Amino acid sequence: MADRDYLVTARKYRPSLFKEVVAQEHVTDTLKNAIRLDRLAHAYLFSGPRGVGKTTAARILAKAINCETPRDEREDGAEPCCECESCRTFEEGGSLNVFELDAASNNKVDDVRELREKVRIPPQGDNKKVYILDEVHMLSK
C-alpha cells in the first residue's frame, strides 16, 4: 500500500462543506452570510481550543470564496459546489490561489520570506488569493 492510503482519521473525515461542520453553527452562519452578501473581510482570525475546527472552517471558506459557481446557483447561496475546476484543484491540493502554511513546522525566517514573496503574486483568474497560516503563534519574529 502506498503512503497516501494512510491518512489521519481527522483529515480523512474532515468536513468539506459548511453544513458538515458540527457544533460551530455560529461560525459557519457568519461565514456563509459574508459570502452571500459579498461582504468578506480582508482577513479572518480563527481562535479556540485544539480540535474545534479552526483550520477546517478556514479551508471551507477558502474553497467557497474561490468557487466558480455563481452564488445564486449554490446550495444555501454560500456552500462551495465541489464540482468546478477551482473546487476540484483545491481538494487535490493543487490550488494556486490557496496557500496553507503550518507555522509550527515552517517557522524559520526563510519560511516567512518565502511567504512574503508568494503574497506578491496576484491570484490566478478572477479568484481571490487565500493564505491559511495554521498555528501562526509559532512564527518567529
Show the domain range for 70: 3-138
| Interval 13-67: pLDDT, tens | 899 999 999 999 999 999 999 999 999 999 999 999 999 999 999 999 999 999 9
CATH (domain of 69) = 3.40.50.300
How many whole angstroms separate alpha carbon 9 and alpha carbon 31?
25
Strand, coil or helix: 4: helix
How many whole angstroms separate alpha carbon 25 and alpha carbon 63?
18
Mean pLDDT, all residues of the chain: 89
Buried b / exposed e along 59-71 (16+ C-beta atoms within 10 A): bbbbbbbbbebee
Cell digits for 8? 489521519
pLDDT band at 4 (very low <50, low <70, confident <90, very high): low
Given this model, what pLDDT does residue 23 score? 93
Total domains in the fold of the chain: 1
How many whole angstroms separate alpha carbon 82 and alpha carbon 91?
8
**Model confidence pTM above 0.85:** yes
**In Å, how far are 42, 127, 131 from 119, measured between CA atoms?**
13, 14, 8
Given this model, what pLDDT does residue 107 score? 81
